[in-house]
Each structure stands twice: as C-alpha cells, then as structure tokens.
Amino acid sequence: MMSKCFELLCALEQSKAGLATAQAAEHTHLPVSEVQPALHTMQADELVCCSDGTWTITSHGLNWLSPYRVKRAVILAAGLGSRLRPVTDRIPKPMIPVKGTRIIDTILDALIAAKINEIHIIRGYRAEAFDALLEKYSNLIFTDNPLYASANNLFSLLYAKDWLQNAYVLDADLYLFTPTLIRKYEYHTNYLACWCEHTDEWCFAHEGLRIKSFSIGGDRCYRMFGLSYWDEDDGLRLAADLEKAAHSPLARTFYWDEVPLRICKENYRIKLRKCAADDILEIDTLEELAALDPAYRPYLSDSPPVRKAPAR
C-alpha cells in the first residue's frame, strides 16, 4: 500500500492541475480498481484532497514525500558510440542533435525541471565536446574515465562511486519523450522498464515488482532501460561492490549493471519502475537515429541492417 500511495503522490506532485482517478491510474500504471481506494485512504490521512473529481496533493502530502528526495544524478557518457558511425566520428553520441535538441539535453532538461541540481557526467570519448553544455547548464560536474576505450562501463560508474547515494544513474544516450520519468522523489532502488511480449534487448524476470534476474532477450518480460535509482543504503553498497568487482580478472568485460543484478545480486532487492514503450528510447543504431530525425537518413547504407548486439 505504501508503494501505491507513493506512486500516486508523485504523480499528483508532478501534475500541478491535479488528476482525475483514471488519469492517476494511467500515470502510475496501476489499475483503477486499486487507485480509487488508495486515493480515498490518502484523503482520510489528509495527504490528498478532491474537488469536482480532480485529485491534488496537499502540503501534508508534500511533507510525506520529502524524505524520499532525489539528491543527485550520475550520467554515463564515456562510450565510443561506434554503432552510430560516421555520425560519431567527430562528436560523442550524447551530443548528437535530434531535430535541434541534443540527446543528452532531454535528460538534463528533465533533471533541472525536477530541481535535481547536482549532476555528474562521466566522460571519455571526445570528452572536450561536453564542455559546450556549460553554456546552458553551468552546474555540471565532469569526471573523465581514461579507460573508456579499453573497458566496459563498470569503470565509468566506479569513478562515480562517491555519488551513488539517493542518486539516479542514467545512460547518456537516452532520448526522453516523457520528461516526467525523472522525478523529484523515489521510494526505493529501482530500474525503469517497460512490458513487452518479446525483446532481443536486456530484460528482467520478475516476481511482482521485484527483479529476480536479467538476461539478453526474453518473452513476456520487462525490457530494461538505462535509468535506475539507488537509495542511500544501496548506493553505499553498490560503491563497495563495484570496487570488489573491479579487482576481478574479467573486470574490463563487465557492464556495471551486472554487479547488482548478477555478481552481487544477493545484496539487493531491486524493484521495477514501470513505463510505457513510447516514453523513452535508447538510441543504439543509425536506423533508430534516422527514424527520429530524417536528416540522418543519408548516413544509412543501402545494405540490409546488421542485427545489433545489445549494449549497456
């Protein structure tokens, strides 16, 4: 019940004009049959109020949310973006403009709108290109990963190990169609994911909302997106587990997600946070880029596309 109340309060906090019951269900991916009694319970507790069928959050509700405030964000932006060449020959993938807006700006604008002002960007490939972001976002904190070309992204997050408490961790190639995926508040450690009948991408097996395992490809599962949140305890735990994993002979082959989801999964109880398939896109290929912005169609080859290997 607490988790449902939290999701509903977050949705109402984000919607300044308030929400009808059906809208609250849509925003939270909860059935109306569960939303209606939860709202009435919260009304009795003076967390929400209702006028003419529209629900809004009260000052008491805002106070209830305050312990769950997100404090910072870590954006992983060190990769080569090799599958978007030749577009990425001179510019890192997150800095690619899509219809006039850089990919990473969709993340940064959403973070600023949520008043998450401590933002760390872990750079690598063509790191100096990210300096241009400071013209619009003066508060960014850059950290460079010198191993970006020789190791997977475990080491990028290891360089950010001191900033993982109460923090979002995001891949920089996410294009957010729904900026409110970035919220001021998070209740527990979670990964963003959408339901799909089949995917060739990284996905989760689950029990209720708890993530049990993850794999490449699956049927009737939740597709994983590179947007997660780590509460205070799990952020500390993740930092320690990353350091241990970095001493493995195979460390340079690890994606950082493998540490909490596979290597040390007994240390965590990570939840799913549901989204819709059209809320977000992880841009991995030229085909995906050209589908968003036709200006990139000339880069596409006449040959059939090569089946991509999932990346993190």
Question: Tokens 């009260």 label which residue?
Answer: 58
Bridge partners of 168, per DSSP, are 73, 229
pLDDT for position 274: 92
Query: Is pLDDT at 113 greater than 80 in this prediction?
Result: yes
Length of the chain: 312
Please compute the mean of the pLDDT values over residues 102-123 and round it to a whole number: 97
Q: Which domains does the chain have, with CATH numbers?
A: 2-67 (1.10.10.10), 69-299 (3.90.550.10)
Cα separation, 47 vs 70, in Å, equals: 20
pLDDT digits (tens, 9 = 90+) for 118-146: 999 999 999 999 999 999 999 999 999 99
Q: Count of alpha carbons within 13 Å of 95, Cβ hemisphere only?
A: 23
Please tell me the predicted confidence (pLDDT) of residue 35. 93
What pTM value is reported for the model?
Answer: 0.90
pLDDT (mean) for 81-105:
94
How many Cα atoms occupy the beta-carbon half-sphere of 241 within 13 Å? Answer: 22
Q: Rounded mean pLDDT of the chain?
A: 92
Cα distance between residue 312 and residue 304, in whole Å? 24
Question: For 184-239, how does the pLDDT look when each residue is reduced to its tens digit (9 = 90+)?
Answer: 999 999 999 999 999 999 999 998 889 998 999 999 999 999 999 999 999 999 99
